[in-house]
Structure 1
Amino acid sequence: MSTHRFDLFAPEARANPHPIYAEMRRNSPVCQVDPGGIWAVARYDDVLFVLKHPEIFSSQGFRVTLLAPWLESNPLADSLLVLDPPEHNRLRALVSRGFTPGMIAGFEPRVRAIAEELAGELERLGEADFMASFAVPLPARVICELLGLDPTLHAEFKRWADHLAMVSPVTPSEHIPAVRATVEAMIGFMKEVIARRRKTPANDVVTRLLRAEIDGHALSEAEIVGFMSIILMAGFETTTNLLTKTVLGLTGRPADIARLRADPALLAGFTEEALRFESPAEIVLRQTTTEVTLSGVTIPKGAFVAAIIASAQRDERKFPEPDRFDMARKPDVFIAFGHGPHHCLGAPLARLEMKVGLETLLRRFERFERLPGELAWNCTLAVRCPHALPLRFVVPASSSVRSARYVEAAV
């Protein structure tokens, strides 16, 4: 076992953590790391064990990180994210009534129309920041429509999501005033939305959540605010990060773009491999309820544990040649969206946005080219993504020919 203590916030770890994760899997599969000496779990089987056993690895560990002493209230701190069974089961059953896979599937025409509009603007510009011009506004506008919010406020909601993701015991002091103000404004805004929906119901998720009831039990205002906060943060971060890192990868694999353009049926397998190759969520945090041993290492009771999903999905014990992108790969257990009780409720929406977004981009563009300059990466444990991705969007010679099916969907 290595005695070196890895720093997950080091610049090289943010830019490309996979060599570090590989070393951890080889020599220190369970070890203490920075920040804060939390325990990191790097191998697939161990990460899966953590996700499957909430009675040992409690989500309350995540709650502690959300209750920063400088923050009066955080709607995520009592939400689904931090609850264990059986309380988690009750709340998940209720919110599932307002956020069904059927409702999400029926939203595909709007997702396609939004993606078509954004891709058309990229084609007009020729060069743009892919994140600001496509990867952020696509999920942002979708979420606004699902929640019945003003879509012109999507940039403000993205800022809220970014600030929520920054809340932790190690939040830089210079960011604390802005994050505190954001959380206060967000809670007030969501309570106003809920009050309006009580008076005037609409065809949106908030109204469905207000009507959700099981055995006479309904959701409280705080629980609805918590779930709206999850949708905002996870809905923005998951799809934005996934699209951004996938397109970034495609800038170095033009052969994959050519294959997908020639045979769109390959996109389903490509999407699953993209989820494995660059997980939308990097790490999930838990806290041990008892002493436990993984890979021969004993983790004490009460320890904070970082289950590194991004490392698990490149574990050579599970995936042959894990650093090779293989769209024909077929994993038997998929953990990009978690596993067990906390499997992500929004996974169908993220997959839909990913599928439609990539279909639209690949139909319009022959390739994506990086513009000069180093990428700057964010600094949160849960997700890893660049702040911006400047690209050149190259159209094929036959770009004037459009599919009638897509044109109709965009109208």
Structure 2
Amino acid sequence: MNLLAPDVRANPYPLYAELRRHTPVCRVDPGGLWAVSRYDDVVTVLKHPQPFSSEGIRRTYRPEWIPDYPMADSMLVMDPPCHTRLRALVNRAFGTSVLHRLEERVRELAHQVVTALPAGRPVDFVDGFSSRVPICVLGELVGIPPSLHAQLKQWAEVMTRFTSVGPDDLELQEQIRAALAEARRHFEQVLEERRHEPRDDLISDLLQARVDGEALTDTELMGFMFLLLIGGLETTVHLLSSCVLKFQEDPALMTRLREEPALIPRFLDEMLRHSGPVHGIVRMVTDDVELGGVQVPRGERLLLLLASANRDEAQFPDPDRFDMERPGPQNLPFGHGAHFCLGAQLARMEARLALEALLARFARLTLGNEPARWNISLVIRGPTWLPLAGHLD
């Protein structure tokens, strides 16, 4: 089973259901990873960094064609205690005070983006709406001027395809190397500027963060910058795109949220369960283990299918139905345990304010003449092209 096959990318949920029913832990393509599809098994792996290691997948981010990828030095590929130390340092600069400082500015940015959308004719909502709000927010966080926002988007889009690069895909490898080099040069310049002239932004806060007198190293700072670029941008872009696609598919739901915007957080919770952007995360098995009744040898890589776990029939009755009133266990859109997404609250705030602005302007959305197009990635799923027309009445 190839998880990157075009029909699977268009709608992976039937395959996920088949995996849960018949082969909840099994090898899949590309790369022969072991897909883990049931909720309980996914949670078990996320709760236990040993024998299910994040650090063990570091080699994945250091292939021969790109040995210096900064994501290999990020929190994403660390286990405690190294992960605990780094997260504590980043938390000092990425706590609730950042959200309070940003909220009014995000509201203004969302209003500006939505006001610029034309009414009555199709435009690409990924470019015109879903990506613009998170890019503006990321620019505010790291002090990057609007003139470079398009470049940020391009870097993130190219590097997100890292997980789908084949050994013979020389053209894509070169595109990723070029984007990496450009982003690294720019982030090095930003870090150097903030050291000499601190500002009221996240990068200045990170440079000043201390725990027991210890600061982030240059390598750790660069790793976090890339983690923020890819994890903090692409996930929110795809979440917003999936939300507006849901509005187009269910006009009554859009009307209800226009009339009761206080329901938007509940809507987002169910969207994150039903159609969340993060579909898979990788772990390395550090010892022979049994998982889901299957023996998995030491050294193998697991692909935890969060999107499948969030539709597990054993946890969520009638899981394919979208239901904002749904009770049940915690869903897993942002992971679980020590690696729970650091930016989860920021992503929720961005999405809430962006949807509030969109619903205040448009009464309904209709699909253009062309179908939506989806990205190619084992980790994140969402539309890359979404032609919609917004209508005022």
TM-score scaled by length of structure 2: 0.97
Is residue 2:40 matched to residue 1:25? Answer: no
Matches for 1:94-113 after TM superposition, within 5 Å: 94-113=89-108
Q: Say if 2:106 and 2:353, in contact at 8 Å, map to a contact too.
A: yes
- The equivalent residue for 1:296 is 293
Letter in 2 for 1:133: G
Once the two structures are overlaid, the 10-residue window that deviates more, 69-78 or 257-266, is 257-266
Aligned-residue CA RMSD (Å): 1.3
- The equivalent residue for 2:237 is 240
Q: Say if 1:209 and 1:219, in contact at 8 Å, map to a contact too.
A: yes
Deviations, residues 213-249 of structure 1 (Å, cap 9, x unaligned)? 1112111111111111111111111110100012112
Compute the displacement of 1:392 (Å): 0.8
Matches for 1:380-399 after TM superposition, within 5 Å: 380-396=377-393
- The equivalent residue for 1:275 is 272
Is residue 2:66 matched to residue 1:71? Answer: yes
Deviations, residues 85-143 of structure 1 (Å, cap 9, x unaligned)? 11000000001111112211331111111111111111457421000001111000111
Matches for 1:180-191 after TM superposition, within 5 Å: 180-191=177-188
SS of 1:39's partner is strand
SS of 1:185's partner is helix
SS of 2:117's partner is helix
Q: Say if 1:286 and 1:305, in contact at 8 Å, map to a contact too.
A: yes
Q: Say if 2:281 and 2:306, in contact at 8 Å, map to a contact too.
A: yes
Matches for 1:85-96 after TM superposition, within 5 Å: 85-96=80-91
Letter in 2 for 1:44: Y
**Distance in 2 (alpha carbons) for counterparts of 1:121 and 1:330:** 38
Letter in 1 for 2:165: V
Is residue 2:366 matched to residue 1:369? Answer: yes
Q: Say if 2:34 and 2:300, in contact at 8 Å, map to a contact too.
A: yes
Q: 1:311 aligns with which of 308, 313, 316?
A: 308
Letter in 1 for 2:36: V
- The equivalent residue for 1:227 is 224
SS of 1:68's partner is coil
Q: Say if 1:145 and 1:151, in contact at 8 Å, map to a contact too.
A: no
Compute the displacement of 1:169 (Å): 7.2
- The equivalent residue for 1:345 is 342
- The equivalent residue for 1:407 is none
Report how many residues are paired.
391
Compute the displacement of 1:255 (Å): 1.3
Q: Say if 1:123 and 1:395, in contact at 8 Å, map to a contact too.
A: no
Q: Say if 2:373 and 2:386, in contact at 8 Å, map to a contact too.
A: no
- The equivalent residue for 2:143 is 148
Q: 1:330 aligns with which of 322, 327, 333?
A: 327
- The equivalent residue for 1:133 is 128
**Distance in 2 (alpha carbons) for counterparts of 1:20 and 1:190:** 40
TM-score scaled by length of structure 1: 0.92
**Distance in 1 (alpha carbons) for counterparts of 2:158 and 2:255:** 38
Deviations, residues 239-280 of structure 1 (Å, cap 9, x unaligned)? 101000121122111111121122222212111001101122
Compute the displacement of 1:376 (Å): 2.4
Q: Say if 1:59 and 1:82, in contact at 8 Å, map to a contact too.
A: yes
Is residue 2:50 matched to residue 1:55? Answer: yes
Deviations, residues 40-65 of structure 1 (Å, cap 9, x unaligned)? 00001111111111111111243222
Letter in 1 for 2:227: I
- The equivalent residue for 1:400 is none
Is residue 2:16 matched to residue 1:16? Answer: no
| Structure 2 unaligned regions, length at least 5 | none
Q: 2:259 aligns with which of 262, 277, 292?
A: 262
Q: Say if 2:279 and 2:306, in contact at 8 Å, map to a contact too.
A: yes
Q: 1:174 aligns with which of 165, 171, 174?
A: 171
**Distance in 2 (alpha carbons) for counterparts of 1:360 and 1:80:** 33
**Distance in 1 (alpha carbons) for counterparts of 2:226 and 2:120:** 33
**Distance in 1 (alpha carbons) for counterparts of 2:83 and 2:386:** 37
Compute the displacement of 1:332 (Å): 3.0
**Distance in 2 (alpha carbons) for counterparts of 1:9 and 1:348:** 30
Provide closer, same or farther for how the CA distance between residues 169 and 320 of structure 1 changes in structure 2, counting only shifts above 3 A: closer
Compute the displacement of 1:287 (Å): 0.5
**Distance in 1 (alpha carbons) for counterparts of 2:67 and 2:300:** 25
Q: Say if 2:119 and 2:391, in contact at 8 Å, map to a contact too.
A: no
Q: Say if 1:376 and 1:388, in contact at 8 Å, map to a contact too.
A: yes
Letter in 2 for 1:134: F
**Distance in 1 (alpha carbons) for counterparts of 2:257 and 2:163:** 40
**Distance in 2 (alpha carbons) for counterparts of 1:188 and 1:363:** 40
| Structure 1 unaligned regions, length at least 5 | 1-5, 397-411
Letter in 1 for 2:34: W
Provide closer, same or farther for how the CA distance between residues 184 and 106 of structure 1 changes in structure 2, counting only shifts above 3 A: same
Q: Say if 2:270 and 2:324, in contact at 8 Å, map to a contact too.
A: yes
